[in-house]
Structure 1
């Protein structure tokens, strides 16, 4: 694939836009505390699959878009998503070799660290959650990783994204 022209990049950006929409889609109140980190999941997949096309700049841009959609402090989600993608890029070669259950465990730690940074930023702005609810999105996201991976891998192979 060296020297070949990138193909079907629209699928990457369409899926990331879908992740942004999923991140603000209404959910029942009892499920709200475990809202998956959709943008982080989709960015993680595309960073592992095509690191030459999706990276920290993409994470920053989609983080800013998430901040605008969620009405949070501008740059807060951008910082957290950039941290996630930095860690994923640092572990890129190892993550690709791990079986799916180990990938999920590593991503649980990565997303958990990102949620801790998010909690710290919320505390600085005066919006701190009083309980350990901030851990649930990382746990739900790690449990969803095998399905997100399978769906996006199927789409990547079907449309020949590289």
Structure 2
């Protein structure tokens, strides 16, 4: 079996860097509660597209960087992103066969579970009172999934990322 040589890996890392930047970019106060999970969206795409290149170690590493950027408990976001990547990898074959609206629904559940774990960890550390607003970023991220998928797919094909 001949393996294809990995090409243009910088595009993957550039998109993850963009996800990190979008995660900490300033938003108006009223929009802050619904900030999309950019890094989770980008990681989910690359895990679906190239599961042999992006996995849980990448999610853990990028999550640690996100922890440092947010100034949160070290390992908290790393755990959340690793959970998301694990769930997406577990459902990868099914997700690839689903139409876009079903992918969005499945990712809504995955992101919702991740947000629930995030809320639980925040409540344990005393950083945030428990509210039902934790679902809003998962919902917005699921609504953004078709656009993120289309843009990253175009970039993957344009630059021949494999």
TM-score (norm 2): 0.98
Provide the rounded CA distance (Å) in 1 between the counterparts of 2:79 and 2:39: 13
Separation (CA, whole Å) in 1 of partners of 2:130 and 2:91: 32
1:4 to partner: Cα distance? 1.7
C-alpha RMSD of matched pairs (Å): 1.0
The answer (yes or no) to whether the contact 2:47–2:89 under 8 Å persists in 1 is yes
- Provide, for residues 18-62 of structure 1, a one-character-per-residue CA deviation record: whole Å limited to 9, x for no partner: 100000000011000000000000000000000000010000000
Q: For residue 28 of structure 1, what is the aligned residue in structure 2?
A: 28
Cross-structure match for 1:83: 83
Q: How does 1:101-120 map to 2 (within 5 A)?
A: 101-120=101-120
Distance 1:2 1:93, change over 3 A: farther
Residue 130 (structure 1) shift: 3.9
Instruction: State yes or no: 1:52 paired with 2:52.
Output: yes
- Residues of 2 paired with 1:2 and 1:100: CA distance? 31
Gaps of 5+ in 2: none
Structure 1, unaligned stretches of length 5 or more? Answer: none
What is the deviation of 1:129? Answer: 3.1
Does the 8 Å contact 2:119/2:130 carry over to 1? no
CA distance in 1, matches of 2:113, 2:119: 10
Counting only pairs closer than 5 Å after superposition, residues 88-103 of structure 1 correspond to structure 2 as 88-103=88-103
1:67 is matched with: 67
